[in-house]
Structure 1
């Protein structure tokens, strides 16, 4: 029996099982070693994962893919996993490699994450061969929920969108210009706040100015990230909530640039189950 984990800062999905037809997925709070110590991660596993396992506590392998799991930070997660599952072999990798495994399997391709943040890489079927740094939502993260939200509030406050639409937006979210500035510049996690505004874009995607905004953001993602890889020879695959809910606009932006799109998954877990249970 094995465990497959797909983790972000907000939540972690854990798949426990033997085969594709004999497995189940449970959820705990997020794990990110960039923000959490080994002790804090161990506490999450012991208090929120282990109780969901019942009598099953012995696993041959644990495959953990997570945000913040750089080579320097991965050991903190591995140590925490082995504290709860000492008989297991634990492999801890980045969420980007998890996305590549989920989207491409053992085939060459370009794997992209479009969620609260964004990321991308070229993948040769085994490992990541090239990556353009995402740089976060201030300097980069093109096409992400945070950047879509940033563009939305910026366009509203700078009168780039119809006045009635801006008033509707502020009313729906209970916002004022002053409150927006406070949430972005003074309160913690402004990226999550900005990403939380993207349902408004989805609901008003038929408005010409919103459609243009979306195409501009996704075009930026392709031009500043994907087009640095050998995209002419490989399909470009996506995972993440933004890619899933805005796939029509993602495909439209890609087509305009001559980029071939492939798989689009809301979450990597479906593809990771296929990858690890393929035998």
Structure 2
């Protein structure tokens, strides 16, 4: 019996079972060892995960594979300790969400794996491990192609009159914003990246406007130029993340212009991680 987790900022998808055919998927709040203390993570496991598992699963679990944001080696001791406590007979491996994305997308084949969600990331994957990674640098210095990046650039282009005026008017009306409100949310309130990413549904609705279509393609070209092209490999480029899923057409068009081979788009990494771990 094994337990697999794919943890993001808001939720963790868990898959458990003995075989691929009998596996089940459940969900809890997101777990991030970088931002959460051990007590809070323990509460999530105790009150959200354990009650959803069959009583017989804990003693029978032999392996746990946990992939998540914030799972840097120096930060994973707490979650390893908690999981070992609840699953005493299991070996526990905690890895980054980027490795989880690579294994979900590429399985055991080499490729370039990308995450395009609120933030962005990418790596060169040899079929087993990450062998190169261009630092994403966060939404202020980088995160090209992410939801935060799209939101930041779109707002700037609207208000700097680089895009048709009706787009700026529609954006402010849609979200009930004034210019002072917007500046307050970006410069003074916490989690400005999430606010900026929250504007992407409006961008998606306007994606057939010629200027917006070109805007999107330019954003994804920037992602490829400043990240993927630096790996200097012709391996297929594959994607997870909400931005990647909903803007597949624009990503594919941008990649074609740069002669990059596109691999797969995966909506739910936990499904493909199950395939990876149940079929070693």
TM-score (norm 1): 0.97
Q: 2:114 aligns with which of 112, 115, 130?
A: 112
Per the alignment, residue 240 of structure 1 pairs with 241
Question: Match of 1:22, SS?
Answer: coil
Deviates more, 1:125-134 or 1:31-40: 31-40
**Does structure 1 residue 98 correspond to structure 2 residue 100?**
yes
CA deviation profile, 1:58-96 (whole Å, cap 9, x unmatched): 311110000010111122221121222222111000000
Give the Cα separation in 2 of the matches to 1:270 and 1:201.
28
Q: 1:187 aligns with which of 176, 186, 189?
A: 189
Per the alignment, residue 270 of structure 2 pairs with 269
Q: CA deviation at 1:193?
A: 0.8
Query: How do residues 44-123 of structure 1 correspond to structure 2 at under 5 angstroms?
Result: 44-55=44-55, 56-58=57-59, 59-123=61-125
Per the alignment, residue 22 of structure 1 pairs with 22
TM-score (norm 2): 0.97
Give the Cα separation in 2 of the matches to 1:129 and 1:74.
21
Question: Match of 2:74, SS?
Answer: coil
- Backbone CA RMSD of aligned residues: 1.1
Q: CA deviation at 1:161?
A: 1.6
Question: Match of 2:108, SS?
Answer: coil
CA deviation profile, 1:103-139 (whole Å, cap 9, x unmatched): 1111111111001100000011111100000000000
Q: CA deviation at 1:159?
A: 1.6
Per the alignment, residue 43 of structure 1 pairs with 43
Give the Cα separation in 2 of the matches to 1:228 and 1:241.
24
Question: Match of 1:63, SS?
Answer: strand
Number of aligned residues: 278
Deviates more, 1:86-95 or 1:244-253: 86-95
Question: Match of 2:65, SS?
Answer: strand
